[in-house]
Structure 1
């Protein structure tokens, strides 16, 4: 790790002579994506010995909170494309982590449910993931966490997610800039 005085500051040029403050936020978005890519790589490394992955973890986590889900609901909630999700679920069913169940009301509709084995795998993988995430959270103050959360929720509110998926993912009603409470 480089010494503290070699780290970028808001005055460090980020591109074509622009500093982070002058880049109009482009550097922020870039840094968010770099951080998330590196964090996910580290999580994958921690989860591999548990026969888990970040994607499997997302699916099991979503199902542990939402007893069962259709493929569309699970795709939206886990942020995994539906075709990728189908390929991901096949080995998860084979490993006994989830089960597919036909709807009694509409035999064409399939629900996915977490199993007891899936809950146990999720419990172990959450402990491993928390270790990684806690290490990063540990360098932030409570005020920095609140501020960063507010910024990320504001950015998420501007995405093209439909309001239902936004609420599902953030556990909040979408509020756009200028929108008043309850609208």
Structure 2
């Protein structure tokens, strides 16, 4: 029988949950700092450019982009405003729905993403992947799929 902690979670549950939150928060802080220092590009901006690059025609509806990068509509709008000012993305109206807006990756956005990609990948590998062997990586991906189907494949 498992012993409950004061907050209703077992020690194993609490360790798994708090560990996930702490690791995520620390990694995001470090990756964001590194991208800012080396490329003047926040992590969320990098993610927006990456999602756009992988989208058909390097464009996506703003609502779909917000969902893909886990930002609110208003948060994404502010971020895309900054990226547009920097010439990294452009916005346009959807041809099939004049109320909808598209974000489109520019050539400058592709170039900035290409410059930042090695920094980001190095950070992910050094801070996270290097601590796990191939079997553990597959197991962890399977766990994410059980918790949130599709999470490990996005």
TM-score, length of structure 2 as denominator length: 0.85
1:43 alignment partner, one of 13, 31, 36: 31
1:121 alignment partner, one of 112, 115, 125: 112
Give the distance between the partners of 1:40 and 1:170, measured in 2 at CA.
17
What is the 5 A alignment of 1:1-150? 22-49=10-37, 50-66=39-55, 67-135=58-126, 136-150=128-142
- TM-aligned CA deviation for residue 73 of structure 1: 0.5
Deviations 1:20-71 (A, max 9, x none): 9x42522201101100110011111110130101110111111001121111
Structure 2 alignment gaps of length 5 or more: none
What is the 5 A alignment of 1:132-171? 132-135=123-126, 136-157=128-149, 167=150, 170-171=152-153
Give the distance between the partners of 1:83 and 1:144, measured in 2 at CA.
37
Matched-pair contact (CA < 8 Å) for 2:90–2:103 = yes
Number of matched pairs: 147
- TM-aligned CA deviation for residue 107 of structure 1: 2.2
Structure with greater contact order relative to length (CA < 8 Å, sep ≥ 6): 2
Structure 1 alignment gaps of length 5 or more: 1-14, 158-166, 173-183
Q: Which has the higher helix share?
A: 2
Give the distance between the partners of 1:79 and 1:63, measured in 2 at CA.
14
TM-score, length of structure 1 as denominator length: 0.73
RMSD across aligned positions (CA): 2.3
Range that drifts further, 122-131 or 77-86: 122-131
Give the distance between the partners of 2:66 and 2:30, measured in 1 at CA.
23
Largest Rg, 1 or 2: 1
